[in-house]
């Protein structure tokens, strides 16, 4: 079931239940979409204002990018559930089944795919938010800062859903390649999000 079609209250209630999904990955995707939308709102409040006419074309292009990112992030809520199901089923395979390890390995790699995609989308969103924060309407710059914070949280949350799975992979070369990719995104984009937040905060004399 696509939980993004439910109310916010229903989503949170199911998230808090014993249901296997949505979990951390689905929550990360939703928070990333919210963060992206906050940045996009700054763009919406910038376009059409004479004061920002010189950056309007750039902001319009960024808004189009964020429109797509928001949709893709929301799509990951259901994708995370779909891609986790094979692993959930694999855990039920008897331990003496000779195919168990192979099935578990393949299912674990599939389960890593969605949180890794969420991380990539959050990084793209932060690239956009950095521009919204620097060039967008000063009246809404706090929203760009909020968007950066949300996308950072989503990025970090998604990474944990990668790492919990790579830890159990038998193929350590595959595991370390995934870990390295995730850690590279964390290193660059958590710092970027912090810089956006601190710059916005400093603009308020704090």
- Under a CB-based contact definition with an 8 Å cutoff, are residues 62 and 135 in contact? no
Residue whose pair of structure tokens reads 């700054």 in the numeric block: 42
Cα-only R_g, the chain: 19
C-alpha torsion 15→112→34→155, nearest 10: 110
pLDDT, one tens digit for every residue, the chain (206 residues): 689 989 999 999 999 999 888 999 999 999 999 999 999 999 999 999 999 999 999 999 999 999 999 999 999 999 999 999 899 899 999 999 999 999 999 999 999 999 999 999 999 999 999 999 999 999 999 999 999 999 999 999 999 999 999 999 999 999 999 999 999 999 999 999 999 999 999 999 99
24-203: what fold? Answer: 1.20.120
Residue whose pair of structure tokens reads 């690239």 in the numeric block: 127
At 161-192, the pLDDT tens digits run: 999 999 999 999 999 999 999 999 999 999 99
Q: What is the secondary structure of 56-101 as a DSSP string?
A: HHHHHHHHHHHHHHHHHHHHHHHHHHHHHHHHHHHTTS-TT-TTHH
Which tokens in the block code for residue 133?
Answer: 């924060």
Answering whether pTM is above 0.85, one says yes
pLDDT number for residue 177: 98
- Under a CB-based contact definition with an 8 Å cutoff, are residues 104 and 87 in contact? yes
């Amino acid at each position: 079931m696509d939980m993004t079609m439910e109310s916010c209250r229903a989503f949170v209630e199911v998230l808090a239940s014993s249901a296997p999904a949505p979990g951390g990955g689905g929550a990360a995707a939703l928070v990333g979409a919210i963060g992206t939308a906050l940045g996009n709102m700054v763009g919406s409040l910038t376009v059409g204002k004479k004061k920002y006419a010189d950056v309007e074309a750039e902001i319009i292009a960024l808004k189009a990018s964020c429109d797509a990112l928001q949709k893709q992030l929301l799509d990951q809520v259901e994708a995370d559930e779909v891609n986790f199901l094979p692993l959930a089923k694999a855990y039920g395979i008897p331990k003496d089944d000779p195919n168990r390890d192979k099935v578990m390995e393949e299912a674990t790699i599939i389960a890593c795919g969605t949180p890794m995609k969420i991380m990539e989308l959050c990084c793209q969103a932060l690239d956009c938010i950095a521009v919204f924060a620097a060039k967008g309407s000063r009246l809404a710059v706090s929203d760009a800062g909020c968007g950066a914070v949300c996308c950072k949280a989503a990025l970090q949350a998604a990474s944990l859903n990668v790492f919990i799975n790579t830890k159990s992979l038998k193929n350590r070369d595959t595991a370390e390649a995934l870990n390295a990719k995730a850690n590279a995104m964390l290193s660059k984009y958590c710092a970027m999000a912090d810089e956006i937040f601190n710059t916005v905060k400093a603009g308020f004399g704090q």
